[in-house]
C-alpha cells in the first residue's frame, strides 16, 4: 500500500470510476469515502470504504468477489455493516 496521503479529490474520483464494479461484488452493500481503520483504530488515511453484509476470509470468496486492498493508489477498507435497509 502506498504511504502517500490521498486527497479527497483523488479518493472521490477513484470511487466514482470504480463504484459500480465494487457494488457488483458479492456481499457489497455500499461504497463510500472515509478514513481507514487499522486494528479498530481510526487513522488519518482517506480511503474507499466498501460496506459488506458479512466480512469473510478471501479464501471463502470467488476471485471476482475479492475486494482489492488498493485501487489506483487509494487504499480500500472493508467494513462489515450487515444488510442496509430503507425505513
Mind listing the pLDDT tens digit of every residue in the chain (87 residues)?
445 578 999 999 999 999 999 999 999 999 999 999 999 999 999 999 999 999 999 999 999 999 999 999 999 999 998 777 777
Distance CA 76, CA 62 (A): 18
Please return the burial class of 65, using the count of CB atoms within 10 Å of its CB with bins 0-12, 13-18 and 19+.
middle
What's the longest Cα–Cα distance across the chain? 40
List the grid coordinates of 34. 472515509
- Segments making up each domain of the chain, as ranges: 8-80
Q: What is the pLDDT of residue 81?
A: 87
CATH 3.40.630 fits 8-80, yes or no: no
Distance CA 14, CA 8 (A): 10
Q: What is the pLDDT of residue 2?
A: 44
**Closest alpha carbon to 4 in 34, 48, 36, 45:** 45
Entry pTM = 0.86
- Locate cell 458479512: which residue? 54
Query: Is residue 67 within 8 Å of residue 29, measured between CB atoms?
Result: no
Q: What is the pLDDT of residue 85?
A: 73
Q: What is the pLDDT of residue 53?
A: 94
Amino acid at each position: 500500500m502506498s504511504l502517500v496521503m490521498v486527497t479527497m479529490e483523488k479518493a472521490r474520483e477513484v470511487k466514482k470510476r470504480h463504484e459500480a464494479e465494487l457494488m457488483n461484488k458479492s456481499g457489497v452493500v455500499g461504497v463510500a469515502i472515509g478514513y481507514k481503520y487499522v486494528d479498530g483504530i481510526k487513522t488519518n488515511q482517506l480511503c474507499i470504504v466498501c460496506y459488506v453484509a458479512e466480512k469473510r476470509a478471501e479464501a471463502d470468496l470467488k476471485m471476482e468477489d475479492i475486494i482489492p486492498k488498493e485501487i489506483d493508489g487509494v487504499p480500500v477498507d472493508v467494513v462489515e455493516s450487515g444488510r442496509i435497509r430503507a425505513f
